[in-house]
Structure 1
Amino acid sequence: MELSLATALIVTAVLVIRIAVRELREPGSARREWAFVTDRGALAGGLLTAVVVAALGRTYGGWGVVAWAVLVGLLVAQVMGRRSER
């Protein structure tokens, strides 16, 4: 497995564990954390970001870049979803 791919998977696992621990401490927080999934604008922004990162980085970084692109796309969608809540 590529080092970059493994690193992206580890970062994803850490984020998921963080959300799970927060959910245990504060029930309902995970639902708020993942509310961006129902926001079309946030998902479109995240998808566009993921496609651009994957397209630009694929030739340089291999498949690890695709994993990072998906992770970056999810994080962008999450931030955009939070902004639309305000």
Structure 2
Amino acid sequence: MGPSLIAPVAVSAMLVIRTALMEIRHPGSARRQWAFLTNRQAVTTGATVVVLLSAVGWRTAGFVSAAWALLAGALVAHLVNLSTGSDTQGRTDRGDMRR
């Protein structure tokens, strides 16, 4: 694994570990953090970013650009989901309603 591939893999691993730790502390938080995967507009925008960055970066960095593009696409999709106000925001779990 080349040195330029270690950085996006490490960042991805840190995001997954952060999600797992938050889920342990606050059950249900992982579902809210990864809700962008169910938002069609967010996924489409993220996929567009992945394709464009991969196409541009392939000439300079080769397959390593795909790892960076996937990371950037996931972060863009998450930001789009936050800005559009996903349908999971404002919803309460049944367990929260009983408290």
Normalising by structure 2, we get a TM-score of 0.82
Q: How much does 1:62 deviate?
A: 1.6
When the two chains are superposed, the root-mean-square deviation of aligned CA atoms in Å is 1.1
Larger radius of gyration between Structure 1 and Structure 2: 2
Match in the other structure for 2:77? 77
Aligned partner letter, 1:23: E
In the TM superposition, what are the counterparts of 1:19-34 in structure 2 within 5 Å? 19-34=19-34
What displacement does 1:2 show? 1.7
Partners of 2:76 and 2:22 lie apart in 1 by 20
**Count of matched residue pairs:** 86
**4+ residue segments displaced more than 2 Å:** none
Which one has the bigger helix percentage? 1
Alignment of 1:18-57 (within 5 A): 18-57=18-57
CA displacement at 1:17 relative to structure 2 = 0.3
Name structure 1 gaps, 5 residues minimum.
Answer: none
The letter of the residue matching 1:28 is G
User: How far apart are the structure 2 equivalents of 1:7 and 1:64?
Assistant: 10
In structure 2, give the amino acid aligned to 1:54.
Answer: S
